[in-house]
Amino acid sequence: MLKKVETSPLLSVRNLRIEFPTRRGTLVAVDDISFDIAPGEILGVVGESGAGKSLTGAAIIGLLEPPGRIAQGEITLEGQRIDNLPYEEIRRIRGRRIGAIFQDPLTSLNPLYSVSRQLVETIQTHLPLNDKEARARALELLDEVGIPGAGERIDHYPHQFSGGMRQRVVIALALCAEPRLIIADEPTTALDVSIQAQIITLLKRLCHDHGTAVMLVTHDMGVIAEAADRVAVMYSGRIAEIGPVQEVVRAAKHPYTHGLMGSIPHIGHHVDQLTQIEGSMPRLQEIPPGCPFNPRCEEATDRCRVERPNLQSVNATEVACHLFDKAGA
């Protein structure tokens, strides 16, 4: 059953545009996207590599790599605009109010420090706790994320944990200051299927128990279908379709989303060949005019090649496709 989205979103992104200035001109990596995430909601963001998913997450937490920059738009967290804050202010928000979980836990953990030291330092950075209180909090977090024998393992080093356990430690780090929002960038990609399911269950429980909002970035529609409440499908830096996950998975509207759904094998349904989307996503300097998907779309018309479609409501979802444009139907 889908959670009811509250009228006041925890995170609001409006008309976000991310650019990369180059000698040959300015490349637009994320082009005028808008979405909200409510407290306790998981928004899945899915698309091929290069769609702009991770860049959107990096912009929200203030970790865009130069020369990348936010050229337009607003990012609001609990009513406070955060995209234009000075570095030190966004740094205080990052960790305290926004947590981050990245794809490879080894890049998030310092191999030279024990897990206890990393957790305690992070906790004391954001909360007024002494060493004893911070260590007790660290033990609680390791228990909460499902580390067996947390009392013994807290003083171990990252290399002494398996991939799945390291990812749990990273989640514990992200939760140190009880953030209101978590940006989870491909948190299950490097893990086997059984561990993926455990991590997804953990994220869902955190949302339910703490009212934490999660932006779950992935290319795996199976993870989205299992974990997310709503899903935003991105293509060439734009949102092609956004809506309740069950609606998008079962009745995809955009031809690109339909192709993604068709590429997933279904148990009990024998097919000789999975659906394939011909071609590949264009490079930033080669995005065509009109709908960026038009060179790969079997239903493209002349209008699609010259006029960019805007998101419009179709039942419970919003879709950027001229096929659903009432004015042009």
Closest CA to 77 of 215, 227, 188, 283: 215
Q: Categorize the per-residue pLDDT at 197 as very low, low, confident or very high, splitting at 50, 70 and 90.
A: confident
Residue 34 scores a pLDDT above 90: yes
The average confidence (pLDDT) of the chain is 90
Give the C-alpha separation, 241 to 22, whole Å: 30
Average pLDDT over residues 46-54: 92
Give the C-alpha separation, 75 to 101, whole Å: 19
Residue 326 scores a pLDDT above 70: no
Give the C-alpha separation, 204 to 211, whole Å: 10
**Share of residues in the chain with pLDDT > 90 (%):** 67
The reported pLDDT for the residue numbered 266 is: 63
Q: Categorize the per-residue pLDDT at 1 as very low, low, confident or very high, splitting at 50, 70 and 90.
A: very low
Reported pTM: 0.90
Average pLDDT over residues 182-195: 84
Please check whether residue 293 is in contact with residue 240, taking contact to mean a CB–CB distance below 8 angstroms. Answer: yes
Model confidence over 54-111: pLDDT tens digits?
A: 999 999 999 999 999 999 999 999 999 999 999 899 988 998 899 999 877 777 899 9
Q: Is the preceding omega at residue 67 within 30 degrees of 0, hence cis?
A: yes
Residue 5 scores a pLDDT above 50: no
Residue 327 scores a pLDDT above 80: no
- 34 phi/psi in degrees, rounded to 5: -140, 140
Strand order in 69-77's β-sheet?
A: 25-37, 11-22, 69-77, 80-81
Residue 207 scores a pLDDT above 90: no
The reported pLDDT for the residue numbered 107 is: 79
Average pLDDT over residues 268-286: 80
How far, rounded to the nearest angstrom, does the alpha carbon of residue 161 sit from its chain's CA centroid? Answer: 25
Please check whether residue 319 is in contact with residue 247, taking contact to mean a CB–CB distance below 8 angstroms. Answer: no
Q: Categorize the per-residue pLDDT at 30 as very low, low, confident or very high, splitting at 50, 70 and 90.
A: very high
The reported pLDDT for the residue numbered 105 is: 77
Model confidence over 216-268: pLDDT tens digits?
A: 999 888 888 889 999 999 999 999 999 999 999 889 999 999 888 876 666 66
Let me know how many helices (H) and strands (E) the chain has, helices first. 11, 12
* Residue 26 or residue 274, greater confidence: 26
Please check whether residue 165 is in contact with residue 199, taking contact to mean a CB–CB distance below 8 angstroms. Answer: no
The reported pLDDT for the residue numbered 3 is: 47
Please check whether residue 322 is in contact with residue 306, taking contact to mean a CB–CB distance below 8 angstroms. Answer: no
Characterize the bridge pairing of strands 317-319 and 312-314: antiparallel
The reported pLDDT for the residue numbered 299 is: 92
Please check whether residue 143 is in contact with residue 150, taking contact to mean a CB–CB distance below 8 angstroms. Answer: yes
Residue 328 scores a pLDDT above 60: no
Please check whether residue 305 is in contact with residue 288, taking contact to mean a CB–CB distance below 8 angstroms. Answer: yes
Residue 329 scores a pLDDT above 70: no
Give the C-alpha separation, 175 to 195, whole Å: 19
The reported pLDDT for the residue numbered 262 is: 73
The reported pLDDT for the residue numbered 268 is: 65
Please name the helix (run of DSSP H) or strand (run of DSSP E) that holds residue 120, with its range, or none. helix 115-126
Give domain limits for the chain: 98-176
**Share of residues in the chain with pLDDT > 70 (%):** 92
- 56 phi/psi in degrees, rounded to 5: -60, -45
Please name the helix (run of DSSP H) or strand (run of DSSP E) that holds residue 119, with its range, or none. helix 115-126
The reported pLDDT for the residue numbered 4 is: 46
The reported pLDDT for the residue numbered 269 is: 64
> What is the per-residue DSSP string for 156-197?
S-GGGS-HHHHHHHHHHHHTTT--SEEEEESTTTTS-HHHHH
* Residue 164 or residue 137, greater confidence: 137
